[in-house]
A = this chain, B = another copy of it.
Amino acid sequence: MPLSPLPLSPQQVLYEQVANRLQQLITDGTLKPGDRLPSVRKLRAQLSVSTSTVMEAYRLLEDRGLVVVRPQSGYYVKQTTLQLPQEPTPTAPPRHATDIDISLAFEVMSLMRDPGLIQLGAALPDLAMLPLAQLNRLMGKVLREEPTLAHGYGSPLGLSTLRAELAKRMLDAGCSVHPDQLVVTNGANEAIYLCLQALTQPGDTVAIESPTYFAMLEALKCLGLKALALPTHPREGISLPHLEEALQTGEVKVVMLVSNFNNPLGSCMDDRKKKRLVELLNQYDRPLIEDDVYGDLCFAGTRPKAIKAFDTENRVLYCASVSKTLSPGLRVGWCAGGRHHSDIAHRKSMINQHTAVPAQLTVAAFLANGGYDRHLRQLRRTYHEQMLRIQQTIRAYFPAETCVTRPTGGHVLWLEMPKGFDALRLYKEALTAGIAIAPGVMFSASGQCYGNCFRLNTAVAWSDELEQALQTLGLLAKKQLAEQLLREDH
């Protein structure tokens, strides 16, 4: 990547011109997050400037938060403060509880099993990134070691060996829960369903974030519950002032949300907010169902704490799974039900007795053998890279008006187009082009919001096909916006 000499610009000092040139390369994706910047010597030669000018330019970029210096190594494009598309604003769903209307979800989800589609719709993990060979080896091993245990009736709570491992993992989320206070479930979905069933009667209202993971909406619908969708910030999560207002009315029976790297917004509440939320729950004597299925997938730093970590009165029902980190097909999740633990265990046994034993044995073996942390490090790095690359590609190909979330973990992006944009039309046109996306209306409890939004799964290995798919989506979006403008002109 040789740079041509800079044109003279009397308005700017030289080192600023050099810095801006490099910044351009970063924001348009030529220099990618983690890439090393050209060496001082090389850049000096290419641009015909002095060493001190290059050094000044690099310092400026460092000040701007775009690059980091690694001693003895050089300057690198920073991972996190990359120039990204603009962010969506906090949401403002209708201010009353509604029945659930999500007829579209079942159709969209069924597309995820079509191998002919580029899968940007469902929030599928990238199976190529999961330790499947190791899991399969372990499953063979546990069946040899426990040829009978794997087939007998088990406890509704799940295997004690698995629960011990899960309790250990929960320490990373700041939660100290005894293994006997856990119930192993068929994925986090079932955990959420059981919690809702234990806490509610049909007709009750549940306060949720908005947009909301549609499987949560389906669980509400299945149990005849109403949703009070609350304004939600794309980075910080649910609005606590709005939540408190709703709690004050006494209308809300239960609060339910995804605490870390929420689906679809990617929001992550900070510790202060988590603590404040628990205080509100205590004050208004309400339970919280916390879904922390993405918490292990943070891109940087230590794993964020769960809200459960701040739970002083055992009123947070914590739900998680290994579906996003190890294997969706094994269907292993769990629930720490707090004061509702016994009721949840009983309901688990009433619905399907217990979770399949071979899957439990396998996950327990994987968590115990010590490979999980290593696997997570790799997964986090890859998912981060994939997401950044997709964000940049969106910036390159999508209409300038496109707002995109900036999650710090997980593997979904939420895109907001200008009002009037029809994401359902985009969904259909994309399907015709062999691309699955998840239209925003699926994430609206009332089925009335987010018609101009959609969600993209970013747990997809980079490929020319993927780039082409994103380009196609961008073109389709641009075409629709142009038509919209034309109509508005008339």
Contact = CB atoms under 8 A, between A and B. Distances in A.
A58 interface: no
A347 B197 CA distance: 14
A354 B185 CA distance: 12
B147 A136 contact: yes
Given A127-B148, A222-B197, A356-B359, A153 B202 contact: no
Interface string A344-356: 0011011111111
Given A130-B151, A150-B136, A358-B359, A351 B189 contact: yes
B349 A106 contact: yes
A120 to B, nearest CB: 15
B189 A353 contact: yes
Contacts of A106: 346, 349
Interface string A137-164: 0011001100111111111000000000
A219 B346 CA distance: 11
A355 B186 CA distance: 8
B140 A153 contact: no
Contact of A151 (B132, B152, B219, B221): B132
Contacts of A1: none
A136 to B, nearest CB: 4
B350 A221 contact: yes
Most chain B CB within a 10 A radius of its CB, from A132, A147, A323, A329: A329
Contact of A331 (B127, B133, B148, B356): B356
A136 B193 CA distance: 31
A40 interface: no
A14 B21 CA distance: 121
Contacts of A132: 147-148, 150-151
A328 B151 contact: yes
A84 B459 CA distance: 65
A218 B327 contact: no
A133 B197 CA distance: 38
- In the complex, the count of this chain's copies comes to 2
A360 to B, nearest CB: 9
A304 B459 CA distance: 50
A328 B153 contact: yes
A330 B358 contact: yes
A139 B139 CA distance: 9
Interface string A277-299: 00000000000000000000000
Interface stretch (A29-37, A91-99, A109-117): A109-117
A356 B139 CA distance: 13
A186 B352 contact: yes
Contact of A113 (B154, B190, B330, B358): B154
A189 B354 CA distance: 10
Nearest to A346: B106
Contacts of A246: none
Nearest to A331: B356
A202 B353 CA distance: 22
Contacts of A144: 136
A357 interface: yes
A358 B346 contact: no
A410 interface: no
A351 B331 CA distance: 12
Contacts of A202: 201-202
A179 interface: no
Contacts of A153: 112-113, 122, 124, 323, 328-329
Contacts of A185: 352
Most chain B CB within a 10 A radius of its CB, from A218, A330, A331: A331
Interface string A178-205: 0000000111011001000100011000
Contact of A329 (B122, B150, B189): B150
A329 B147 contact: no
7 contacts: A110-B155, A153-B329, A187-B353, A193-B350, A221-B350, A329-B358, A356-B356
Given A153-B323, A189-B353, 18 more contacts: A106-B346, A110-B155, A132-B148, A132-B150, A133-B147, A139-B140, A153-B329, A185-B352, A186-B355, A186-B356, A187-B353, A197-B222, A222-B347, A222-B350, A329-B356, A351-B351, A356-B356, A358-B359
